Structure 1
């Protein structure tokens, strides 16, 4: 992509998100979301391949439908209450429609159908943008209307997202699709807590972003796109393999690592608010996600020295970027070991 076009796209994505996060009027928020969507479409479609074009088309249609639903919901609320203020979403029907629109924007179940396909048709860098930066604006709007959301609806969407995220990623061999279902599952944890404890929900999504960012960036230094080719990473990038393994275990929420913290806080807040059965169901459904995280970790470690890999290496490997790995390794290690620094 030419440098001028890249600069315009970057400015559009950044300004769109900043417009939404600083808005207090629904039309301003809608404008920011539209700017964000239009700016990322060239990034998704930059590869000269039918899959990229298909991914960009699916992303555009889904986001346009969600934006139309958001605009309809805010207009209906203004008609009923006379206010366009984001924090004054008092009409129940408008609030339910707004939750549906924002869920579709983020890719939470049951409006998750577009996320795995779009991520599979994109590059790893674009996938990183979709799973992290593109979720900031909808999460911010959901956080701002959290006082008006119905806990039952949010808990149902969250539980369904955890179920579909774990079940969908269980049988995947493509890394990008697996991480798409992982994103859906983590969104489920955020949705369950946002109407009860919004700050904990925000902590959950922030920790997911800071864990997944070095994971995707380290994957871009290799040529791995499937679980089979991931097994050859140890032969030319042992440090990257170890860090990827730790990041996967942190995403799974195993206790010594940072990813365990938000899950513990969410379960604790649910039990405190008498949602013990829901907390139990979430903990059990998270075992589905844990299964494919552990499977990927096993594939990474089973080929470690002195065991020889049984998979054929890619015929054209990128030269390992030692400078990038040297920069990302301490960042990744910091991200997965900040558990003791977080207030409990």
Structure 2
């Protein structure tokens, strides 16, 4: 991609998110979301492949439908209350429609159908942007209207997302699709607590972003797109393999890794608000996600010496491999081992 085009796309994605996070008017927030969407579509479709074109088309159609729904609900709220202020979402129907539109933009269940296909048709770098940066703006809007959201709806979306995210990742051999379902499951944990303790929901999504970023960048370093090719990573990047294993276990929420911290806080908040049955259901559904995380971790450890790998090693390696690994490993290890510092 030409450097000028890349600069314009990066500027558009950044300005779109900053516009939403600093907006106080529904039309300004809608404008920022549209700028964000238009800027990332060329990144999805830059590959000269029908799969990339299909992914860009699905992304555009889904985001356009969510934007129309958001415009309709904000106009309905302004008609009923006379205010376009984001924090003055007093109409119940508008609130339900806004939550549905933002859930569709993020890829939360039951409007999750586009996320695995779009990520599979994108590069690893674009998939990283979709699962991390593109979720900042909708999460910010949900955080701003958290006082008006109905707990029943957010809990239903959250539980369904956790179940779909765990169940959908079972049969996946493509890493991008597996991470898409992982993103859906983590969004479920965020949605369940967004109307009860929005600060904890924000903490959960921030920790997920800090774990996903080095994971995708290390995958880009190893050129691995499937679980089969990931098993050959130990032969030429053992440090990256160990880091990937720890990041996967952290995403699964196993103590004492970082990913356990937000899950513990969310479960504690739900129990404190007399939602013990919901917390128990979420803890049981998280075992579904734990299954494919442990499966991937086992595939990585099963190829460690003295065991020999049964897969063909990738013949093309990137020349900047060692430098990128040296840079990302301390960042990833910091994200993994932050839990003891929080508990002290």
Regarding TM over 0.5, the answer is yes
Cα distance in 1, alignment partners of residues 250 and 200 from structure 2 = 17
Instruction: Identify the residue that residue 337 of structure 2 maps to in structure 1.
Output: 337
Shift of residue 320, structure 1, vs aligned partner: 6.0
Runs of 4+ in 1 over 3 A off after TM superposition: 315-320
Shift of residue 313, structure 1, vs aligned partner: 1.8
Instruction: Identify the residue that residue 120 of structure 2 maps to in structure 1.
Output: 120
Shift of residue 194, structure 1, vs aligned partner: 0.2
Shift of residue 317, structure 1, vs aligned partner: 3.6
Partner deviation per Cα, 1:229-276 (whole Å, 9 max, x = no partner): 110000000000000000000000001100000000000000000000
Instruction: Identify the residue that residue 292 of structure 2 maps to in structure 1.
Output: 292
Does the CA contact (< 8 Å) of 1:81 and 1:91 recur in 2? yes
Cα distance in 2, alignment partners of residues 319 and 15 from structure 1 = 33
SS in 1 for 2:222: coil
Instruction: Identify the residue that residue 56 of structure 2 maps to in structure 1.
Output: 56
Cα distance in 1, alignment partners of residues 115 and 258 from structure 2 = 25
Does the CA contact (< 8 Å) of 1:190 and 1:202 recur in 2? yes
Shift of residue 310, structure 1, vs aligned partner: 1.0
SS in 2 for 1:148: coil
**Residue 274 (str. 1) matches residue 261 (str. 2):** no
Cα distance in 1, alignment partners of residues 130 and 84 from structure 2 = 28
**Residue 145 (str. 1) matches residue 145 (str. 2):** yes
SS in 2 for 1:342: helix
Cα distance in 2, alignment partners of residues 222 and 182 from structure 1 = 20
Instruction: Identify the residue that residue 31 of structure 1 maps to in structure 2.
Output: 31
Cα distance in 2, alignment partners of residues 325 and 314 from structure 1 = 17
Partner deviation per Cα, 1:30-71 (whole Å, 9 max, x = no partner): 000000000000011111111111000000000000000000
Does the CA contact (< 8 Å) of 1:231 and 1:309 recur in 2? yes
Cα distance in 1, alignment partners of residues 261 and 165 from structure 2 = 20
Does the CA contact (< 8 Å) of 2:256 and 2:340 recur in 1? no
Shift of residue 319, structure 1, vs aligned partner: 4.1
Partner deviation per Cα, 1:59-106 (whole Å, 9 max, x = no partner): 000000000000000000000000000000000000000000000000
RMSD (CA atoms): 0.9
TM-score normalised by the chain length of structure 1 = 0.99
Query: Are residues 343 and 92 of structure 1, via their aligned partners in 2, closer, same or farther at CA, if it must alter by over 3 Å?
Result: farther
**What does 1:212-291 correspond to in 2, within 5 Å?**
212-291=212-291
